[in-house]
Structure 1
Amino acid sequence: MLVAFSVSPLGGESDSVAEAVADAVRVVRESGLPNETTSMFTTVEGEDWDEVMDVVKRAVQAVQAHAPRVSLVLKADIRPGHTDQLHAKVERVERYLD
């Protein structure tokens, strides 16, 4: 299961969200699950809903420590029996581009 999500504080004292987002990314990286962070989303890969959504929930909680309101955008690819899709999906596209 792949989950791409973006979490951001709303209504805080600063118009920069970098520190709060860094705290969320830290939670993801410390989870031990395969993950990747880009300029817009963090993608995390796990075996099932419980495993992945626990990480997302803790990332949201980390951002909540910075602001009274939080925005969460989430997209999931649920494909049981497939692993390392974080890389495999990109590799399949790259083959067509070569």
Structure 2
Amino acid sequence: MIVAFSVTPLGVGEEVGEYVAEAVRVVRESGLPNRTDAMFTSIEGEWDEVMDVVRRAVAAVEERAPRVSLVLKADIRPGAADGPEPKAATAERHPA
């Protein structure tokens, strides 16, 4: 599966980059294929491992923020293992 998710700390002011960086650090340390852009972090793997990484990313932000918002979208496709990067590259090959 591929999960695109966004973790946003609430109640910490407008500057949230250092909080979000903690969530991204958790994802990168997971070793699972991932990609981060301005809106979402995408991560690929089996259901349990991906959801564990999302849970830990939220927990990392939750340690420092009084409230956390999570937006999550999942593409559940058993047996697929092409990752978030090839999907993005495919879209980029077609002119807009």
* TM-score normalised by structure 2 residue count: 0.91
| Structure 2 equivalent of residue 42 of structure 1 | 41
Figure out how many residues of one structure are paired with residues of the other and give that number. Answer: 96
The Cα of 1:58 is off from its aligned counterpart by 0.2
The Cα of 1:19 is off from its aligned counterpart by 0.6
Q: Does the aligned pair in 1 maintain the 2:36–2:42 contact within 8 Å? A: yes
Amino acid across the alignment from 2:77: R
The superposition leaves residues 41-68 of structure 1 with CA deviations (integer Å, 9 ceiling, x where unpaired) of: 000011x210100000000000001211
What's the RMSD between the two structures over aligned residues?
Answer: 1.6
The Cα of 1:95 is off from its aligned counterpart by 4.1
* TM-score normalised by structure 1 residue count: 0.89
Q: Does residue 91 of structure 1 match 2:89?
A: yes
Structure 2 runs not aligned, ≥5 long: none
Structure 1 runs not aligned, ≥5 long: none
Moved over 6 A (4+): none
**Percentage of matched positions with identical amino acids:** 66
SS of equivalent residue, structure 2 residue 70: strand
Distance (whole Å) between structure 2 residues aligned to residue 95 and residue 88 of structure 1: 11
